Amino acid sequence: MRAALFISGKSGTFVPMEDIIRLLPESVANQIAAGEVVQRPASAVKELLENSIDAGSTEITLIVKDAGKTQIQVVDNGCGMSERDARMCFERHATSKIKTANDLLAVRTLGFRGEALASIASIAQVELKSKRTEEENGTLVKVNGSEFISQAPVSCKDGTSVTVKNLFYNVPARRNFLKSNTLELKYIMEEFNRVVLVHPDITFRLYNQEKLLLQLSPSNLKQRLVALLGNSYNQRLIPVSQETQLVNLSGYIGKPEFAKKTRGEQYFFANGRFIKNPYLNHAVENAYHELIPTDAFPTYFIHLEVDPQTIDVNIHPTKTEINFQDARSIYAILNSAIKQSIGRYNLTPSLDFETEKSMDLPPIPEGHPVQQPAIRINPEYNPFEKQTKPQLEINYRAPAGEGGNQWKRLFDPIKEIHPGHRQPTESGEEPQPVIPLEKPVEEVNSVLQIDHQYLVTTIPNGIVIIDQQSAHERILYELFLRQGDSPSSAPQRLLLPQTIQVTPDDAEVVRDISGLLEKLGFEISEFGKNTFLVHTVPSGVAQSEIQSLIEAVLESSKTETEGFSQKGEQKLARTMARKLSIKPGRSLSQQEAMSLIRQLVNSSAPDLSPEGKPTMFLLSFEDLDKKFKHTT
Ligand code: ADP
Ligand code: MG
């Protein structure tokens, strides 16, 4: 129908018959803006809560009905609004928070765009009651779908109450788009959490269907987290704190052993606002690298305080994405602060969090490498779990020590064994001992193998139980990743290359990953149809094992979801380690067992298999005492 708008001009060009550009009616503009600001009840909740915080409230109550679909009400005791402001606030770009463009650079309030109330009022029926302390009476304003209905004086408490009814009543398409009440309520809770975690000093209440779901009294962040997430979090959190010129970090991270299978508990806040930042998320996850299973996610609640001039918050209407000017430095500071906290927790496992305030954390010296701490123990791993009663509670805490060296220290007596020399096995033909033997020295400690799969030994403060296969996997895994790093870990060249045959499909895979294989010590060249020649093998691998090892690698390349494209070396090394590791059922001599333990404690993460499962756990004498002795 467009042509109907035009008539042919004399010159043969088309000119518009009438002006077609018109300012959109305000109500339509608001609706369009609402589409950006308010996607669901949770978004309205977020905006209202933020307004209450910006108003300086110390008590905020959120009341929702039908997951916010029929009603959302936020009541606060903040500064309130004058009669005029209570009307004005529904105008688009009505804000008290910035006056000039310059103010934008220094915004410290949560809102500033002046869009939220206008947007919400365009798609719902809104009642706003507000009273300033200095005023006798409050004022009640009603707006339906951007349409001003009424304003009248009302007697009410100091502060503001905004009630949003029937969200999207005039936009059926959006209303139909809403999810189940359960899901919408979950979204609301998420927004609620994001707000209450930034303001532990504010009292919050949450009602759903007239039932009080949550009451949060003023507290510190730790207590707020525990109030929100449950008492078990008292034991799960480690404080993080770092002050630098660029950024001040504070908050809590989860102990590695409590890492979750989902990303749920990951929170960054920048200048008091929840943000998402995949780059910084990486800085945290990287600090946990090798400390948690590859499919688990660390818990964190981290506040970043930066100069508002160095961030750009305005790149997204809902303002969860944020750009930092010096993101790379913040990444580095964050990464090292997290590592430091995990390390510190390992050093002082019995740290009492209630003392956090008096704790003075020294900053990391410039350029000081942060030791990757190595202790985490899987709380799920309970060797007694097959027994139903009595439930044994074992203290899984890491023993005290330096960074990743705790286990080494505990194993000191074993470490005193002087390493002997390995017999080089050039041809790889002669049977290699499964575990390279050290020169036997007088036995400092004895190791007991039980059930042909666990090694039990004592250390100064208790008993350690080691899973022989996981332990050996850890040793081999590191050996493979270190191929060529030192003469003793150099790949061995075979006197005669060994031929391996694979299927045509697999030949493709071998070609694909031949670069990776070479890094891990396998030099391979193609030799005719689906046949390859193996020239070198990783140190620690016997020639007789080549074929089966390659088969295992090919097999796992099919089951790994993204093949070996990501973290290929580690995955490959893991597969090989698993394949070659000593399995349950293999009995070990005293010397082999000792050697295994010695090599394990000298690895970089002795208590963790390459898959992130525990290789050992400590049953301390303290725990034993608790079990057997009566205390007064
Ligand atoms: P913004 O928060 O971006 O300024 P809003 O549309 O959310 O925009 O709010 C518009 C204005 O209404 C705010 O700037 C503030 O002056 C006022 N206002 C909104 N909610 C409250 C409240 N709970 N208490 C006091 N003033 C409020
Ligand atoms: Mg606002």
| d(C-alpha 243, C-alpha 166), whole Å | 46
Q: Do residues 138 and 263 both lie within one domain?
A: no
pLDDT computed for residue 98 by the predictor: 55
- Residue 546: phi and psi, rounded to 5, are -60, -55
pTM above 0.75, yes or no: no
| Location of structure tokens 């936009």 | 171
Tokens of 330: 């913040």
Residue 335: inside a domain: yes
Rg (CA), the chain: 32
Q: What is the pLDDT of residues 448-465, one digit of tens each?
A: 999 999 999 887 778 889
Whether 148 shows a pLDDT value over 90: the answer reads: yes
Containing structural domain, residue 84: 26-216
Which CATH number is 302's domain given? 3.30.230.10
Query: What are the residues whose beta carbons fall under 8 Å from the beta carbon of 307, sequence distance 6 or more?
Result: none
Does the beta carbon of 45 sit less than 6 angstroms from any atom of ligand 1? no
Residue 367: inside a domain: no
Which CATH number is 501's domain given? 3.30.1370.100
Tokens of 115: 């869009």
Q: Distance between alpha carbon 425 and the CA centroid of its chain, in Å?
A: 45
Q: Do residues 206 and 317 both lie within one domain?
A: no
Span 267-277, mean pLDDT? 90
d(CA 50, ligand 1 centre) in Å = 9
Measured between alpha carbons, how far is residue 68 from residues 213, 415, 438, 573 in Å? 14, 63, 69, 51
pLDDT computed for residue 551 by the predictor: 85
- CB atoms closer than 10 angstroms to residue 369: 8
pLDDT computed for residue 68 by the predictor: 96
Band of residue 269 on the pLDDT scale cut at 50, 70, 90: very high
Q: Do residues 39 and 134 both lie within one domain?
A: yes
pLDDT computed for residue 311 by the predictor: 80
Residues of the chain with pLDDT > 70, as a percent, come to 72
d(CA 179, ligand 2 centre) in Å = 25
Whether 290 shows a pLDDT value over 90: the answer reads: no
Whether 590 shows a pLDDT value over 80: the answer reads: yes
Count of structural domains within the chain: 3
Query: What are the residues whose beta carbons fall under 8 Å from the beta carbon of 315, sequence distance 6 or more?
Result: 321, 322, 323
Whether 105 shows a pLDDT value over 60: the answer reads: no
Tokens of 97: 């928070």
Residue 204, sorted as left (phi over 0), alpha (psi -120 to 50) or beta, turns out to be: beta
Q: Do residues 559 and 587 both lie within one domain?
A: yes
d(CA 385, ligand 1 centre) in Å = 55
pLDDT computed for residue 620 by the predictor: 84
Domain finish residue from 315, 347, 379: 347
Q: Do residues 500 and 402 both lie within one domain?
A: yes
Q: What is the pLDDT of residues 390-416, one digit of tens each?
A: 222 222 233 333 334 455 555 544 433
Band of residue 508 on the pLDDT scale cut at 50, 70, 90: confident
**Looking at the CA of 30, which ligand is closest?**
1
Which CATH number is 142's domain given? 3.30.565.10
d(CA 273, ligand 2 centre) in Å = 13
| d(C-alpha 34, C-alpha 619), whole Å | 59
| d(C-alpha 455, C-alpha 438), whole Å | 18
Residue type, 83: E
Q: What is the pLDDT of residues 194-209, one digit of tens each?
A: 999 999 999 999 999 9
Q: Do residues 166 and 259 both lie within one domain?
A: no
Give the relative orientation of helices 590-601 and 468-481 as an angle to the nearest 10 degrees. 50
Does the beta carbon of 53 sit less than 6 angstroms from any atom of ligand 1? no
Q: Distance between alpha carbon 295 and the CA centroid of its chain, in Å?
A: 11
Does the beta carbon of 160 sit less than 6 angstroms from any atom of ligand 1? yes
For 76, the 3-state DSSP assignment is strand
Nearest to 555 by CA among 505, 518, 516: 505
Q: Do residues 178 and 227 both lie within one domain?
A: no
Measured between alpha carbons, how far is residue 395 from residues 106, 377, 445 in Å? 49, 10, 24
pLDDT computed for residue 467 by the predictor: 95
Q: What is the pLDDT of residues 515-533, one digit of tens each?
A: 889 888 899 998 877 889 9
Q: What is the pLDDT of residues 66-86, one digit of tens each?
A: 999 999 999 999 999 999 999
- CB atoms closer than 10 angstroms to residue 427: 12
Tokens of 574: 């893991």
pLDDT computed for residue 438 by the predictor: 37
| d(C-alpha 273, C-alpha 292), whole Å | 28
pLDDT computed for residue 112 by the predictor: 54
Nearest to 89 by CA among 59, 29, 130: 130
Measured between alpha carbons, how far is residue 372 from residues 336, 376, 567, 573, 584 in Å? 9, 12, 19, 20, 30
Between 59-68, 190-199, 420-429, 620-629, the lowest mean confidence (pLDDT) is in 420-429
Span 347-370, mean pLDDT? 39
Does the beta carbon of 163 sit less than 6 angstroms from any atom of ligand 1? no
Q: Do residues 402 and 464 both lie within one domain?
A: yes
Residue 128: inside a domain: yes
Between 278-287, 290-299, 435-444, the lowest mean confidence (pLDDT) is in 435-444
Say if residues 123 and 34 touch (Cβ distance below 8 Å): yes
Q: Do residues 307 and 327 both lie within one domain?
A: yes
Residue 549: inside a domain: yes
Q: Do residues 227 and 192 both lie within one domain?
A: no
- Tell me, what DSSP letter sits at residue 490? P
pLDDT computed for residue 267 by the predictor: 95
Mutation test of ligand 1: which of 37, 47, 51, 319 has the most ligand atoms closer than 8 Å to its C-beta?
51
Between 178-182, 189-193, 286-290, 502-506, the lowest mean confidence (pLDDT) is in 502-506
**Looking at the CA of 61, which ligand is closest?**
1
Q: Do residues 268 and 311 both lie within one domain?
A: yes
Residue-averaged pLDDT of the chain? 77
pLDDT computed for residue 44 by the predictor: 96
Does the beta carbon of 47 sit less than 6 angstroms from any atom of ligand 1? yes
Tokens of 414: 């074993």
| d(C-alpha 445, C-alpha 435), whole Å | 18
Query: What are the residues whose beta carbons fall under 8 Å from the beta carbon of 517, sequence distance 6 or more?
Result: 510, 524, 553, 572
Residue 14: inside a domain: no
Element of type H or E holding 481: helix 468-481
Between 119-128, 483-492, 521-530, the lowest mean confidence (pLDDT) is in 483-492
Whether 51 shows a pLDDT value over 50: the answer reads: yes
Whether 358 shows a pLDDT value over 50: the answer reads: no
Band of residue 160 on the pLDDT scale cut at 50, 70, 90: very high
d(CA 111, ligand 2 centre) in Å = 4
Whether 3 shows a pLDDT value over 80: the answer reads: no
Residue of 441 and 41 predicted with greater confidence:
41
pLDDT computed for residue 348 by the predictor: 46
Mutation test of ligand 1: which of 48, 54, 109, 139 has the most ligand atoms closer than 8 Å to its C-beta?
54
Strands (E), 35-136: 59-65, 71-76, 125-131
Whether 36 shows a pLDDT value over 80: the answer reads: no
| d(C-alpha 30, C-alpha 36), whole Å | 10
pLDDT computed for residue 591 by the predictor: 84
Tokens of 584: 């349950």
Between 215-219, 320-324, 509-513, 609-613, the lowest mean confidence (pLDDT) is in 320-324
**Looking at the CA of 55, which ligand is closest?**
1
- Which ligand 1 atom is the nearest neighbour of the CA of 109? 2
Tokens of 421: 């020399």
Query: What strand order describes the sheet that includes 159-165?
Result: 147-154, 138-144, 125-131, 159-165, 71-76, 59-65, 203-208, 211-216
- Residue 108: phi and psi, rounded to 5, are -120, -10
Bridging pattern class, strands 211-216 and 147-154: unpaired
Query: What are the residues whose beta carbons fall under 8 Å from the beta carbon of 353, sequence distance 6 or more?
Result: 222, 234, 237, 239
Q: Do residues 61 and 94 both lie within one domain?
A: yes
Domain finish residue from 216, 244, 276: 216
- Tell me, what DSSP letter sits at residue 113? S
Residues of the chain with pLDDT > 90, as a percent, come to 34
Residue 368: inside a domain: no
d(CA 98, ligand 2 centre) in Å = 12
d(CA 40, ligand 2 centre) in Å = 16
Q: What is the pLDDT of residues 526-578, one digit of tens each?
A: 887 788 999 998 887 888 888 888 888 888 877 765 666 667 888 889 989 99
Residue 358: inside a domain: no
Band of residue 334 on the pLDDT scale cut at 50, 70, 90: very high
Span 181-193, mean pLDDT? 91
Whether 442 shows a pLDDT value over 50: the answer reads: no
Does the beta carbon of 89 sit less than 6 angstroms from any atom of ligand 1? yes
Residue 497: inside a domain: yes
Tokens of 578: 């698993």
Length of the chain: 632
| d(C-alpha 509, C-alpha 504), whole Å | 9
Q: What is the pLDDT of residues 600-614, one digit of tens each?
A: 888 888 888 898 888
Highest mean pLDDT among 172-176, 234-238, 301-305: 301-305
